A = this chain, B = another copy of it.
Amino acid sequence: MRISAKGRYALASVIHMAQHHHGGESITLIKISERLGISKIYLEQVFSLLKRGELVTSVKGAQGGYLLSRAPQQVSVLDVLTAVETSLFDRTEDTVAQRAPEIEFAMRKCAFQALDDAVSSALMQVTLEDLVLASEKHKGDDAAMYYI
């Protein structure tokens, strides 16, 4: 399934924050932008969504920035992506409901609902802490292992 740039930027940003800024210290978007190579202006939109999702809090003004609202082990990938991705579960349209409601029903119940449940439970299990640990483990490894 396709995760959009917005979702990937959000996840990468939040991993970076968890890696480096534990003690209530905020980080600015410019720093994240430079560190990860993401447009700062675009990051603003991403963080607007993250804030609405209550994953980060902001400090305005000079010396301001963002910090994680919760500890990394209490933030799941599902939390991050639902805050930011438009079509992680968005699939409301009817397909053949008017003329073949029983087919519509079967598709929804057996396929789409099962799919959503699977996505949800898979992403729920992975926390920011897991991601930080995996990234630290990788730092020591051979770079050739990077591409699977």
Show the binding face of A for B, using Cβ within 8 Å: 1-3, 5, 8-9, 11-12, 15-16, 35-38, 77, 87-91, 93, 95-119, 121-123, 125-126, 130-132, 134-136, 138-139, 143, 146, 148
Contact = CB atoms under 8 A, between A and B. Distances in A.
A37 B135 contact: no
A11 B111 contact: yes
B146 A103 contact: no
Q: Is the interface of A mostly helix, strand, loop or mixed?
A: helix
A91 B111 CA distance: 22
B15 A103 contact: yes
A107 B2 CA distance: 13
19 contacts: A1-B1, A3-B91, A12-B100, A12-B103, A12-B104, A16-B100, A16-B103, A35-B99, A36-B96, A37-B96, A37-B100, A97-B146, A103-B131, A103-B135, A105-B146, A106-B132, A113-B148, A118-B119, A118-B122
A97 B136 CA distance: 15
B107 A15 contact: yes
B102 A136 contact: yes
Contacts of A119: 1, 115, 118-119
A29 to B, nearest CB: 15
A17 to B, nearest CB: 11
Contacts of A105: 134-135, 138, 146
